[in-house]
Each structure stands twice: as structure tokens, then as C-alpha cells.
Amino acid sequence: MENTLDRLKKWVAESNNIVFFGGAGVSTESGIPDFRGEQGIYNTLSEYGVSPETILSHTFFENNKEVFFDYCRKHLVFPQAKPNAAHYGLARLEAEGKLKAVITQNIDNLHQKAGSRNVLELHGTLYRNYCTVCGKRFDMDYVLNSKGIPHCDSCGGVVRPDVVLYEESLDMDTMEMAVKYISKADILIIGGTSLAVYPAAGLINYYKGDKLVLINKSSTAMDSRADLVIHMNIGQVFDKILG
């Protein structure tokens, strides 16, 4: 493992065109559970009788807004969560001009909290909310502090988080930017994702370099394609290579 970390450390030291692509595993070390994980599914099934994927779908949102917002407030939003070593390490690499973009599937704002500026949020963010009628913007506190279904204080329309629900399409501009950064990257570091969920698997195909790094606690279906595979906690990895 030491040799692998040494190699990554050397690559990172030599590059000024690193792109990071991250999934839920980046945030679990900050205490945010993966809603697709066993515990998340178990909790949701026992409390609501349906899976997290069902609740976080467009159809469910349209038909069961009370339950949707109850689930969001109780199980999806973690205002106390703090960035970990991976978030801070990535922000530092960007500040040093070495990292071009963070592409994330997470909706928790932790990269920005750590100081990252160029963050492409493929699935949107819970920290932006908007009125579905007039488009007025609201912060997360507005939703957290309202009871039941949050309504717009201007027009009374329903306010919803700017996240991509199941059955909804990804923002094409964000996707195009992600493809652009990945296709030009010198090093692509992928962390905290099993690469099973769309669009992660597809995005890798745009990478043309020879330094594809995969950091995940357990092995993934893409391990054989990577130039470097590290099965460790991602925070630990950043501690070792930047500490």
C-alpha cells in the first residue's frame, strides 16, 4: 500500500491538471450516511414503507410532498456535518493551481464548505431551493424552518430543492462541463463511489490519460481499468499524500 500511495503522491506533486470525481463515500467520513447503504434503506423502509429511491423520485415528490419533505428533513439534510481531510485536501490542491475541478454526486455542499470553488454538482444541491411557480430562490434554512410542505413567500408556490430526483434528467450544462474537464485531465482521481450509479460509469470513458486513480474502501467493477487502485478511506489517503 505504501508504494501505491507514494506513486499517487508523486503524480499529484508533478501535475497541474488533476480532476476529482467523487461519490457518497467522500461524505460518509463526515458522518453523512449513504441513503443507498444498508442502514439508509432499512431506516426508510421501516419508517415509510418504501425505499429511499422511491421517495426521492419525481413521481413520489409530485404525489406525496409531505412525506418527501419529512424524509429530507430527517434523513437527507445534515447541517452540522463538517468537511473531512479529503474535502480539505481537494480545496488545497485547487488553491495551489493543481486541481481544475471537483465533480460530485453528493448534494451536501461539503466541498464548498472546505473551500473548493469549481464544484460541478451532477445531482444538484440541497442548499439551493426554488419556487416551482415563480422561480424565486431560497436557502436550505427556509425549507428546514418551514413546517410540512414549504411554500414561496411571494406567490405561495411549492418550494423544492434543486436536486435531481430519480426520473429527472441531469443538467446538461453541468454534464458537458464534467465531460470537458475529464477529457482534458492529466490525472483523474475517482473516490468514494462504487461506479455502479449512472452517470459515473459513463463519465470515465471520456478520460484519455494514463493516470486513472480509484480510491474506494471496497473493490469496484472498474478496478481493472484503473492505473492505480487504493482500497482505503479517502480521508486517510489525502492525509497521507498531502500531510
Binding site for Zn ion (CB under 5 A): 131, 133-134, 136, 152, 154-155, 157
Q: Give the burial class of 148: count Cβ atoms within 10 A of its Cβ; 0-12 exposed, 13-18 middle, 19 or more buried.
A: exposed
**Terminal-to-terminal C-alpha distance of the chain:** 16
CB of 198 to Zn ion, least distance (A): 32
Q: Tell me how far apart the alpha carbons of residues 141 and 94 are, in angstroms, rounded to a whole number.
A: 29
Q: Is the dihedral of CA 206, 212, 213, 216 positive or negative?
A: positive
DSSP letter at 57 equals B
Closest approach of Zn ion to the CB of residue 44, in Å: 30
Task: Estimate to the nearest angstrom the gap between the alpha carbon of 236 and the chain centroid.
Answer: 18
Shortest Å distance, C-beta 65 to Zn ion? 15
Strands 137-138 and 124-131, bridge-based pairing: antiparallel
The catalytic site residues sit at: 123
Q: How far is the CB of 196 from Zn ion (least distance, A)?
A: 37
DSSP state of 93: H
Place of cell 474535502: 87
Please say which residue, 146 or 174, places its beta carbon nearer to Zn ion. Answer: 146
